[in-house]
């Protein structure tokens, strides 16, 4: 199916893709590159790649499919750095959390002889690193693809074949559409979580209050423990959609605040609406109709 697939970034996502490709014998060769010391050797050991490279340009040379499996913060430099090594006709795809900005970098830095198709797999697990890689990580999960009007159909087909090997379900979205949707259900939640920890830990009684904090605080604050650099890079590359959703969120909090201040006894109506929405979402997730 593929001749040579190059995976750049051999963490949980890149490593799992390599495992899935190799186990399905879908590529003649899988090459790999990672900035981290010894990571590409470990990736070969766990069976995620056939051939590690010390040079980024060497890793992508001759590849018909190049997968950029790094956080969004690395993408701009990466796209610039792989450009000289790419073989004409190659298809490049990525897995970053935001799409419009990455696509504009790809259009700026990649030669016109190669095609770029933005992607975003909606999966993950608590563990990270190539040691946690799992050929079934993508199975039955959603994989967003965000081709533009300029993307060649053959390139979309090639990346779709990759996703088929991974066992995921493709969702085609406009880049801006994707970025708006993930801003609401993925980026707003981590900012809500961070602001909660910020706000309560700035109070004069935080040390005492912390002792009273229980499972509710634990869950709502969990995302605040995530990677600051990754969160920053997401904010920097999706600021319009994120500020839009922060405005919506603040407006809803402001309305709640006013109703609580005036002892509105029908507050439970809104709480019931949110409860029903949350329960429906969970039910749909546990037993999808599709």
160 to 179, contacts with a second copy by CB under 8 A? 171, 173, 177
Size of residue set near a second copy by CB under 8 A:
92
284 near a second copy, judged by CB under 8 A: yes
74 near a second copy, judged by CB under 8 A: no
Taking CB under 8 A as the criterion, the residue among 117, 129, 228, 287 binding a second copy is 228
Taking CB under 8 A as the criterion, the residue among 122, 136, 160, 170 binding a second copy is 122
- What dihedral angle (degrees, nearest 10) is formed by the CA atoms of 16, 21, 25, 26? 170
Taking CB under 8 A as the criterion, the residue among 88, 153, 205, 287 binding a second copy is 205
Cβ closer to a second copy: 150 or 265?
A: 265
232 near a second copy, judged by CB under 8 A: yes
286 near a second copy, judged by CB under 8 A: no
140 near a second copy, judged by CB under 8 A: no
Q: Which stretch binds a second copy (CB under 8 A): 59-67, 75-83, 109-117, 219-227?
A: 219-227
Taking CB under 8 A as the criterion, the residue among 149, 150, 214, 287 binding a second copy is 214
37 near a second copy, judged by CB under 8 A: no
Cβ closer to a second copy: 46 or 235?
A: 235
Q: What are phi and psi of 222, to 5 degrees?
A: -55, -45
DSSP class of 170: E
Contact 146, 171 (CB under 8 A): no
CB of 228 to a second copy, least distance (A): 3
Helices assigned H by DSSP within the chain:
12-23, 39-45, 56-60, 75-82, 100-109, 153-166, 175-182, 188-201, 206-212, 215-221, 228-237, 239-261, 267-286
Q: What are phi and psi of 74, to 5 degrees?
A: -90, -10
Kindly identify the residues of this chain, within the stretch 263-282, that bind a second copy according to CB under 8 A: 263, 265, 267-275, 277-279, 281-282
Q: Which of 1, 35, 34 is nearest to 20 (CA)?
A: 1
**Ramachandran sector of residue 64 (left: φ over 0; alpha: ψ -120 to 50; beta: rest):** alpha
Please state, in angstroms and rounded to a whole number, the distance separating the CA atoms of residues 159 and 17: 12
28 near a second copy, judged by CB under 8 A: no
Q: Which stretch binds a second copy (CB under 8 A): 2-10, 131-139, 150-158, 246-254?
A: 246-254
Contact 8, 82 (CB under 8 A): yes
């Amino acid at each position: 199916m593929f001749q040579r697939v190059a995976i750049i970034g051999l963490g949980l996502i890149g490593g799992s893709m390599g495992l899935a490709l190799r186990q399905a014998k879908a590529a003649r060769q899988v090459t790999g590159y990672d900035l981290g010391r010894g990571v590409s050797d470990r990736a070969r050991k766990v069976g995620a790649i056939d051939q590690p490279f010390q040079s980024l340009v060497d890793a992508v040379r001759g590849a018909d499919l190049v997968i950029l499996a790094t956080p969004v913060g690395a993408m701009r430099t990466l796209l610039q750095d792989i450009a000289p090594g790419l073989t004409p006709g190659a298809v490049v795809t990525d897995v970053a959390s935001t799409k419009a900005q990455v696509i504009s970098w790809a259009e700026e830095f990649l030669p016109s002889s190669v095609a770029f198709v933005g992607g975003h797999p909606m999966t993950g697990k608590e563990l990270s690193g190539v040691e946690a890689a799992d050929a079934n990580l993508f199975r039955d999960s959603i994989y967003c693809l965000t081709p533009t009007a300029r993307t060649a159909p053959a390139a979309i087909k090639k990346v779709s074949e990759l996703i088929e090997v991974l066992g995921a379900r493709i969702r085609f979205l406009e880049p801006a559409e994707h970025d708006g949707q993930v801003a609401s259900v993925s980026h707003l939640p981590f900012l809500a979580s961070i602001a909660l920890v910020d706000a309560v830990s700035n109070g004069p009684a935080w040390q005492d209050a912390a002792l009273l904090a229980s499972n509710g605080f634990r869950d709502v604050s969990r995302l605040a423990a995530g990677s600051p650099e990754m969160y920053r890079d997401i904010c920097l590359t999706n600021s319009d959609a994120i500020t839009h959703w922060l405005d919506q969120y603040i407006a809803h909090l402001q309305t709640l605040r006013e109703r609580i201040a005036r002892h509105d006894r029908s507050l439970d109506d809104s709480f019931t609406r949110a409860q029903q929405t949350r329960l429906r979402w969970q039910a749909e997730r546990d037993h999808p109709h599709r």
